[in-house]
Structure 1
Amino acid sequence: MDIDSELHAPPVCLFIWGTFVFQCIIERITKKFTMFLPEGIPGRATLSVTLKKYTELDVQIKETDKHSADLTKMWTVIQGDNLWSIAAREYGNPADWRLIAEANDIDNHRILYPGQNLRIPVKE
């Protein structure tokens, strides 16, 4: 999958089939050659394309439930997690990462370990 170096995301595509219009990103493409010319050059192929619905960021933010839980939650860190992404998922705002860092006595907010359990405090 190609990533747009300016957006840091795959390019947005418009899939049109008759009157059906679908804004998406291409998640996966696979090809299978079904015929070859006598010279060994592929002459026919079948492609399988997996598309994923694209939703603009401002729409995603509006659709996100911004209410925090009434109880403290636990979060188990997986590879690639960081405090900003966890705060965005739990509170709807990545800037709230400090709440998680303070609740877990994290001095270096850039270091999380897969398997580490974090308390996600109630946002007041």
Structure 2
Amino acid sequence: MLSELLGGAPVRAALVIYDPPTGTGNAPGPERGRVRFHFNPDRVQIGKRARWDRSPAPSSEEAPRAQFVGAQPRTLTLEVFLDAGDFRSSVQDQVEKLLDCCAPTARSATAKPASAPWVRLEWGRSHTTAFLALVTQVDAAYTRFGHDGTPLRATCTVSLEEVGGATPRQNPTSGADGPVDTHLVVGGDTLAGLAWQAYGDPTRWRAIAEANGVDDPARVPVGTVLVLPVLEERPAGGAG
């Protein structure tokens, strides 16, 4: 009752599972299932690293200057708590869904390259954790059993790694090919807000709209994967 007075019942988190793309595309295939969390996580750990090279010069007494090599994918680790309650088959089914995310799908196994499903943590208005990823590890501990040995409760530690990748620039005003980022639209997203996050300038939303063929920026469906093109620098004093 108190939670409803303060803004409604909590939004339940879920791990959305997609078919991997065909070929080398950067957009996932259709949704193939969900692992709906029985309880929301108490803690989600997210990380990102950059690679730097410090090759020392021979006989130099100075520390070598760092040279940027590249960005590493985001990583995310969380605990998923599952409790069967009155549904005694659901815990095993959910754990099997998580474990299956560590193996190529049957469809992709006959094609090249084979790929495990892509996943995304969906949790209300959380943006930082809502990136497309691969499951790199699942550790499930069953902690309660029925009289027939059926697992009734499990705590699963799930590790994710951002899919990443690069596609050609799709911004018509851009020059040569280059890396871009992608964003999966969630509730509350706006093109101006995405432009602010990506470029620090909300007026650059038109570039996102043009790159994705969006005619009405106010009507971008939740679940759409948008390309965020790498933009050329504006000349000093240039207009948006």
TM-score category by the smaller chain? Answer: 0.3 to 0.5
Between structures 1 and 2, the one with greater strand share: 1
RCO comparison, higher one (Cα < 8 Å, 6+): 1
Between structures 1 and 2, the one with greater helix share: 1
- TM-score, length of structure 1 as denominator length: 0.43
